[in-house]
Amino acid sequence: MSYPMDLPPKDAVGTDTAQAQRPARFAGSGAKSYDARIRRLVPGYATLLDVIAPVLASRIGRGEASILISGAGTGAELSELAFQSTHWRFTAVDPSEDMLAIAGRRADMLGCLEQVDFHACALAGYSCRQPHDAALSILVAHFLPDDGEKAGYFKDLARSLKPGAPLVFADLGRLWEGADRPAYSRWVESVSPDPSAASATVDRIARDFHPVDEARLARLLDDAGFSPPQRLFQVFDFAGYLTVRR
């Protein structure tokens, strides 16, 4: 097991190059507040997490399997998956040491720490010894610009998987162009402790995220070596999909 995260959370952005290029939202206090913040940013986040484990279990069964969790963050997926099978092993990859430190403590509390290998790096910096049986990428790819970085990310997922292995991923997309922004804004207002900050949140998402429409998404996946994505979750422009490594 590699578990290099017994580090106190830092208030600065971490040292990893990929992390250094990202805003501080996943470092220091940004990591500490993440679990509360994400529920006020992604409508249906709890439901999204609920469906991941059954979808994976239906594909790979509950026997021995190795599951890559790219952008594992504070370990939300880990807590959903660890109860499915004690035979599943997890590789949690994330450039934020602070997020992974929380994931490590969570795995320890849940009693599944021994099932997890942690790698504090972006997916591009992770080289697997053996391709995995399944992968997750929840709310990660939408941060990557569609200038080659997003395509490279899906290719890195593909090279980390065995042929036939499922990938479950979710991101902000462009599904409901134009119509959803006021509705989403209303939703953020309704769940925010400071409704006046809601429009700033929505503006920040429009500025910082790099959503693509489903035609582009299918193309990126096809180029990377994945089957056409099947949508399994959607609220506003947030959507989750199942695809399979060809």
Ligand X SMILES: C[S@@+](CC[C@H](N)C(=O)[O-])C[C@H]1O[C@@H](n2cnc3c(N)ncnc32)[C@H](O)[C@@H]1O
What is the contact surface with ligand X in residues (CB under 6 A)?
18, 26, 38, 70-73, 76-77, 93-96, 99, 122-123, 138-140, 143, 153
* Nearer Cβ to ligand X (73/211): 73
Nearest distance from residue 175's CB to ligand X, in Å?
Answer: 18
Residue whose structure tokens are 């402790």? 193
Nearest distance from residue 133's CB to ligand X, in Å?
Answer: 19
Nearest distance from residue 241's CB to ligand X, in Å?
Answer: 14
* Nearer Cβ to ligand X (115/215): 115
Q: Are residues 105 and 119 in contact, defined by beta-carbon separation less than 8 angstroms?
A: no
Q: Which long-range contacts (CB under 8 A, 24 or more apart) does 152-155 make?
A: 152/124, 153/123, 153/124, 154/220, 154/221, 154/223, 154/224, 154/226, 155/223, 155/224, 155/225
Q: How far apart are CA 126 and CA 112, in angstroms?
A: 22
Q: Are residues 239 and 170 in contact, defined by beta-carbon separation less than 8 angstroms?
A: yes
Nearest distance from residue 94's CB to ligand X, in Å?
Answer: 5
Q: Up-side HSE of residue 138: CA atoms within 13 Å toward CB?
A: 26
* Nearer Cβ to ligand X (38/128): 38
Tokens of 129: 């010894």
* Nearer Cβ to ligand X (7/179): 7
Task: Point out the residue whose Cβ comes nearest to ligand X.
Answer: 73
Q: How far apart are CA 103 and CA 184, in angstroms?
A: 29
* Nearer Cβ to ligand X (38/110): 38
Nearest distance from residue 189's CB to ligand X, in Å?
Answer: 21
> Which residue in 165, 82, 167 sits closest to 116, CA to CA?
82
* Nearer Cβ to ligand X (153/187): 153
Nearest distance from residue 27's CB to ligand X, in Å?
Answer: 8
Nearest distance from residue 236's CB to ligand X, in Å?
Answer: 16
- To the nearest 5 percent, what fractions of the chain are helix, strand and coil? 45, 20, 35
* Nearer Cβ to ligand X (72/158): 72
Look up residue 17 and give its amino acid. Answer: T
3-state SS assignment for residue 158: helix
